[in-house]
Structure formats: C-alpha cells, structure tokens
Amino acid sequence: MAHFAKPAEGSWTEHYPELGTAPVDYTDSIDPAFFEAEREAIFKRTWLNVGRVERLPRTGSYFTKELPSAGPGFSVIVVKTKDGSVKAFHNVCRHRGNKLVWNDYPHEETSGTCRQFTCKYHAWRYSIDGDLTFVQQEDEFFDLDKSQFGLKPVRCEVWEGFIFINLDPNAQPLAEYLGPLAKGIEGYPFNEMTEVYSYKAEVGSNWKLFIDAFAEFYHAPVLHQKQYTPEEAAKIMQYGFEALYYELASPHGMISTWGGQSPPADLSMVKPMDRVLRSGLFGPWERPDVIEQLDQLPPGVNPTRAPQWGIDSWHFFPNFMLLIWAPGWYLTYHYWPTTVDKHIFETSLYFVPPRNVRERLAQELAAVTFKEYALQDSNTLEATQTMIGTKVVSEFPLCDQEILLRHLHKVTGDYVNKYRNNGAKEAHNGSAR
C-alpha cells in the first residue's frame, strides 16, 4: 500500500513516541478558559511573524499589526529605523494611553512612511526609535523626564526577511526559537519574490482548526475532487494521499509532499486555461531564472531530494505556516485568534516579478486558483467548530498523515500546562520581568 518509505518504527507518528497514537481531545478548541490560557502561555510568549521586510522599504517606513491573539486591543508599530534595523513598539501613547498610530478607524491596521509618530490627541511626538521628543506645553507638567516616557518596546527580530515580534521581553533569541527546520531553509531567495497577492478572511473556528486543515493533505483528493473529471477523481481517491517526508523539531514541524502539476504528466488532467497559460494550483510551470540558476536548493527544501517533489510546508508554532512550491514561489498563512471560536486568517502568495504579460497572467491564474481552494477549505471549518462545540464527541482518531495536527495539539497543551503550573504562579506572585 505504502508508496513512500516510512521510518523504521513503522509510522511517522511512532517515530516521535512522545506523541502517542491515541485519539486526540479537541476540548482545546472549544473551551474559553483554555483559550485565555493560550493567550497568556503562547501568544504573549512566543515569536510571531508579522510580515516581510519588503513592507519597510526606507527609513521611517512603518506598519501597524493588530494582535487580538494576545488580548483585545493589543497592537504593535513596526518601523524601519535610521540605522536600517527594524524595531517594534506597543501602539500606545505614554501620555494618556491613546492609540498612537491609526487612521480613521482605530481598530484597522495602517502603514506608511513618517519622520516621527505624533499622537492625534495632544500632539506628543516620538522619534522612529521610540524616544519621546516633544510634549505639548511641557512646562505645565510636573518634573516630566522625557527620557522615561519613550514608547514601550516590543522584542523584534528578523529571519530571512521575515519580521517576528515577541511580547515577552525575556524570550530566547528568534533563531534559537525557530531552530533547525528554519536553519535548513536559509538561503532560499525569498527576497527576490516581491510580487504579492494577499487575502484575508474572518473564519468562524478556533485558530488551530484551520492549521489542522492546511497541515494535512489527506483531505485533498476528497474535498477538492470537483475540479477533476469523475474518472480522474475516482483514480485520485483510490490512490489517496501519502507525504514524502515529515519532520518535527518541537514546537515546529514540516511536511514534504509530491505534486505532479507543474507541469502535469498528462495535460488532460488540467483545465484548458491551465494548458494555455501553463500554470495552475501549483503555480506557473516555468521556473523563474533565480530558481533555475540556483546551484541547489537549501538542504531543508525538498529534504529527501525526491524528483516528484511538489510542496514543502513548515508550521512555525504557533500561527505561521510557510509553503515553498517546487516551481519557485512561496506562500504564507497566518491565523490570529480573536475568541475561542473565531480567528482572522491571512494568506499571501509571493512570486518573482513577471517580465511580461504572459508571465503576469500565469501568476494571476495561480492566485485565482488558490482562492477557489481556500474558499472550500475555510468552509469546512465552521461546520467542524459547531459540531465539536456540541461535545457529543470529544476525542478524534488522527491518522499517520495527520501527524502535524497531533503535534500541534500536543505542543499547545504542553505550553498551556506549563504556564498553568509555573507561569500562572509566577504571575500571581507578582514577579517583575
């Protein structure tokens, strides 16, 4: 039955014995108290990707990022400073707590370029390095030492052009947190892929359920079968899905999978438009020069060096997924919980800028195709959330091809338990950080 070799233990899951093989309890996706603990244990203490450095082209370029995941109102300003480094600050004025950077609607994210940040309320001004530089009617204040009222900094570090923040000032360095899986991808030409398509959705499910949906491809032959002819769909269903490779480096994990659609072996498998534009779900079939000219891919990309390789997908805990597609483009997923049963889903596709209309249209088809699938994927989630919420069934059997889901729920539980056992006690004792 198996088309690709599994580890000596007989399965990917048993290769990581700490995971167990028992059914998984999904109470972690419906319990409001568990969600509040996740906010404290995970979203206030782990490295969160908030975007790419290309969004900050020059000194003073900034964007704001709402972090409902940490609690209502949390918002950071991310800015490129004079020395070229990227810094992050809590988006709150030190005078009387107004939100510092926003446009017409305070809860909406914004971006731009500025020389300084000026509060709308009383015109207090901050340099892009976060120092308080101007106080309106300063002599009306009492012994105000401006050096003590700079913006509250947020930890901010960059890996391969991906900007991460961490609300925990004592967090370990980013590179150490991301670990060996990230190390293995370093050198991939992300910086060349600056043609961006971004999408956003409000999804009526717990954040982990959408990661579940994208962390396995076991669903693909079933949920997405209507794009194929009935004969083709039946063949694909019978074949099922097996990955080439899985690797866990807790709290993160990755899957490497085959994918024969770029170009497909049999052109009759794909739509007429795909055949004309030589593109589709797996992206444009023609590799960009920057990929063609690479000596070799970084060792962590297509780690088994399989000729039938199609996609690698990394889950960087807690809420960032990165997919590198064989034809030479990448995409990102982010999941920002707002309540136990709702989250904001964001996704972006990144291509090498097209040189002509033909290349541009090939990318357009890939982006349009992606959205068709994303709509199908997101629609199953609300149904799942509702039914798990009934508690008629709480424990669910996960198969070997769902190892990344098993891992996600285990790691989440471990973080929350550790926080409940230690962190909460620490917080209760008022230990200053």
Residue 75 parent element (H or E) = strand 75-80
323 counts as binding other proteins under rule CB under 8 A? no
C-beta of residue 274 within 8 angstroms of C-beta of residue 336: no
d(C-alpha 194, C-alpha 199), whole Å: 16
From residue 259 to residue 278, the character string flagging contacts with other proteins as x (rule: CB under 8 A) and all else as - is: ------------xxx--xx-
Q: Which one, 323 or 361, has the nearer CB to other proteins?
A: 361
107 counts as binding other proteins under rule CB under 8 A? no
4 counts as binding other proteins under rule CB under 8 A? no
Q: Which one, 27 or 348, has the nearer CB to other proteins?
A: 348
> Cβ 364 to other proteins, closest distance in Å?
5
Give the CA-trace dihedral at 191, 193, 196, 198, to 10 degrees. -70
395 counts as binding other proteins under rule CB under 8 A? no
Q: Which one, 70 or 366, has the nearer CB to other proteins?
A: 366
d(C-alpha 405, C-alpha 414), whole Å: 14
358 counts as binding other proteins under rule CB under 8 A? yes
376 counts as binding other proteins under rule CB under 8 A? yes
Query: CA separation (Å) from 88 to 156, 200, 292?
Result: 6, 23, 36
Beta bridge partners of 335: 345
Which one among 379, 394, 417, 422 touches other proteins, defined by CB under 8 A? 379
110 counts as binding other proteins under rule CB under 8 A? no
> Cβ 276 to other proteins, closest distance in Å?
5
What type of residue sits at position 399? Answer: C
d(C-alpha 362, C-alpha 357), whole Å: 9
d(C-alpha 237, C-alpha 233), whole Å: 6
Which one among 56, 367, 388, 416 touches other proteins, defined by CB under 8 A? 367
Q: Which one, 12 or 63, has the nearer CB to other proteins?
A: 63
From residue 329 to residue 348, the character string flagging contacts with other proteins as x (rule: CB under 8 A) and all else as - is: ----------------x--x
| Strand bridging mode 195-203 / 320-325 | unpaired
203 phi/psi in degrees, rounded to 5: -115, 135
Q: Which one, 57 or 84, has the nearer CB to other proteins?
A: 57
396 counts as binding other proteins under rule CB under 8 A? no
81 counts as binding other proteins under rule CB under 8 A? no
Three-class SS of residue 240? coil
Total Cβ atoms within 10 A of residue 145: 8
Q: Which one, 180 or 353, has the nearer CB to other proteins?
A: 353
Residue 116 parent element (H or E) = strand 116-118
Residue 169: is the preceding peptide bond cis (ω within 30°)?
no
111 counts as binding other proteins under rule CB under 8 A? no
Three-class SS of residue 400? helix
What type of residue sits at position 218? Answer: Y
Site for other proteins in 192-251 (CB under 8 A): 195-203, 223, 226-227
374 counts as binding other proteins under rule CB under 8 A? yes
352 counts as binding other proteins under rule CB under 8 A? no
The residues that touch other proteins, with contacts defined as CB under 8 A, are 195-203, 223, 226-227, 271-273, 276-277, 345, 348, 354-358, 360-361, 364-365, 367-369, 371-372, 374-376, 378-380, 382
